[in-house]
């Protein structure tokens, strides 16, 4: 892939930049005596990974309006999916000397959100507006009226055909943030220069993983399939090519974990790998009754001598549960986006910017 345009290619001084980030983070209720407990951010990694781009833009004297989503409100305003806790965290992280650690409210045209500083704003959950997930171009244009430039630093959302991902670049000069570019650099090396054999492990319950299987089989040596995917393969009558490369796990009687025999078979293949890509747990690991398959695979991966790349929130949560998250080489912020990029070498969010004719 040719060099992607960076935020550094934009002349943003004294301009307004719309910055797409991925703040789809877990929240928790504060432990307080008050009956109405407010929400706070439970895991801050995704927010902190966006800070280099935010700080760069602020250093360039740009006004920054951050756009993000949280959860799946489906075009409705849901108080528990407000980005207010994220705004408060950003305020405390970036402006610790400010007396108040709470972000204020702001409204601009048809949009509302939170004022973190005089030149830093966070729009309310963009999925509160139906036009976002419908990729409504009128909605995207209304968003574009808020700024002079668009920067995408939300790799995990780049496979989505949503207004703030693929619509906005139609109306504004656009580029990518630092975290997005880092993801592409690392994953491009995996796709183009991996040490062999390469083993891809698909788990979880999302059938979109099956949609990229054929592309993966063109360049990986083995694909191991667990989680709910074996059930989906059967229900959808999904036909798998290159059967000699693909190993589908058997599930236990409840269908909530792979069998011990399948886990042992997977471990032997993993032990021979030089590169491992893992997206999706092997079972309902949150329940200790069904965690064994995921735990065995996770342990086998960190025990291997392979370069290991992990993607997806559930996979990362599983690694954290088993205290193995610090023992893998790279954790991508995206599950679906990571797999689609590794399969196709591009994403809708990349194409939306690189196919433009704007000159910086």
Q: Where are the alpha helices (DSSP H) in 236-345?
A: 260-271, 292-303, 313-321, 336-344
Average pLDDT, the chain: 91
| Residue 305, phi then psi, degrees to nearest 5 | -95, 10
Show pLDDT as tens, one digit a residue, over the chain (360 residues).
678 999 999 999 999 999 999 999 989 887 654 555 689 999 899 999 999 999 999 999 999 999 999 999 999 999 999 999 999 999 888 865 433 445 567 777 778 999 988 899 999 999 999 999 999 999 999 999 999 999 999 999 999 999 999 999 999 999 999 999 999 999 999 999 899 999 999 999 988 888 899 899 999 999 999 999 999 998 877 877 667 899 999 999 999 999 999 999 999 999 999 999 999 999 999 999 999 999 999 999 999 999 999 998 899 999 999 999 999 999 999 989 999 999 999 999 999 999 874 443
Q: What is the model's pLDDT at position 359?
A: 43
Q: Are 82 and 105 in contact (CB under 8 A)?
A: no
Q: What is the model's pLDDT at position 37?
A: 66
292-303 and 313-321 helices cross at what angle (nearest 10)?
A: 80
Q: What is the model's pLDDT at position 98?
A: 37
Q: Where are the alpha helices (DSSP H) in the chain?
A: 45-59, 84-94, 137-144, 178-193, 208-211, 213-216, 229-235, 260-271, 292-303, 313-321, 336-344, 348-354
Domains of the chain: 7-180 (3.40.50.1260), 194-344 (3.40.50.1260)
Q: What is the model's pLDDT at position 101?
A: 42
Reduce the DSSP state of residue 315 to 3 states and report it. helix
Query: First and final CA of the chain: distance in angstroms?
Result: 20
Q: How far apart are CA 26 and CA 138, in angstroms?
A: 31
Q: What is the model's pLDDT at position 313?
A: 84
Q: What is the model's pLDDT at position 244?
A: 87
Q: What is the model's pLDDT at position 223?
A: 96
Q: What is the model's pLDDT at position 107?
A: 75
Q: How far apart are CA 22 and CA 24, in angstroms?
A: 6
Considering the entire predicted model, what is its pTM? 0.89
What Rg value do the Cα atoms of the chain yield, rounded? Answer: 21
Q: How many angstroms separate the Cα of 237 from the Cα of each of 40, 63, 233, 283, 291?
A: 43, 52, 6, 21, 27
Q: How far apart are CA 38 and CA 31, in angstroms?
A: 9
Q: What is the model's pLDDT at position 108?
A: 72
Q: How far apart are CA 22 and CA 34, in angstroms?
A: 31
Tokens 């747990």, residue located = 281
Residue 174: closest CA among 189, 187, 158: 158
The tokens of 84 are what?
């207010």
């Amino acid at each position: 892939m040719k060099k992607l345009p960076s935020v550094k290619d934009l002349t943003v001084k004294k301009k307004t930049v719309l910055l797409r980030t991925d703040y789809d983070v877990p929240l928790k209720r504060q432990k307080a005596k008050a009956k109405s407990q407010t929400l706070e951010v439970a895991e801050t990694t995704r927010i902190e990974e966006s800070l280099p781009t935010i700080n760069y833009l602020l250093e360039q004297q740009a006004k920054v309006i951050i756009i993000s989503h949280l959860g799946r409100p489906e075009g409705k305003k849901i108080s528990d999916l407000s980005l207010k806790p994220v705004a408060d965290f950003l305020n405390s992280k970036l402006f610790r000397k400010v007396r108040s650690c709470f972000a204020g409210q702001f409204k601009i045209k048809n949009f509302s959100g939170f004022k973190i500083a005089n030149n830093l704003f966070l729009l309310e959950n963009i999925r509160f507006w139906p036009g976002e997930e419908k990729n409504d171009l009128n909605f995207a244009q209304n968003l574009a009226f808020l700024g002079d430039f668009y920067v995408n630093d939300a790799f995990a959302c780049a496979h989505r055909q949503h207004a703030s991902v693929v619509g906005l670049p139609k109306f504004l000069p656009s580029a990518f943030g630092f975290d997005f570019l880092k993801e592409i650099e690392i994953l491009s090396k995996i796709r183009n220069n991996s040490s062999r054999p390469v083993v891809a492990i698909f788990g979880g319950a999302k059938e979109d993983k099956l949609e990229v299987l054929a592309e993966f089989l063109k360049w990986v040596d083995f694909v191991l399939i667990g989680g709910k995917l074996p059930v989906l393969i059967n229900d959808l009558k999904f036909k798998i090519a290159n059967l000699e490369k693909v190993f589908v796990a058997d599930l236990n009687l409840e269908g909530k974990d792979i069998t011990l025999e399948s886990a042992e078979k997977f471990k032997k293949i993993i032990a021979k790998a030089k590169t491992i890509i893992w997206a999706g747990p092997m079972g309902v690991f949150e329940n200790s009754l069904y965690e064994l398959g995921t735990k065995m695979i996770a342990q086998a991966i960190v025990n291997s001598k392979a370069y290991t790349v992990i993607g997806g929130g559930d996979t990362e949560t599983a690694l954290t549960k088993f205290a193995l998250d610090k023992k893998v080489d790279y954790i991508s912020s995206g599950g679906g986006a990571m797999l689609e990029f590794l399969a196709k070498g591009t994403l809708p969010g990349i194409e939306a910017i690189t196919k433009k004719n704007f000159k910086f």
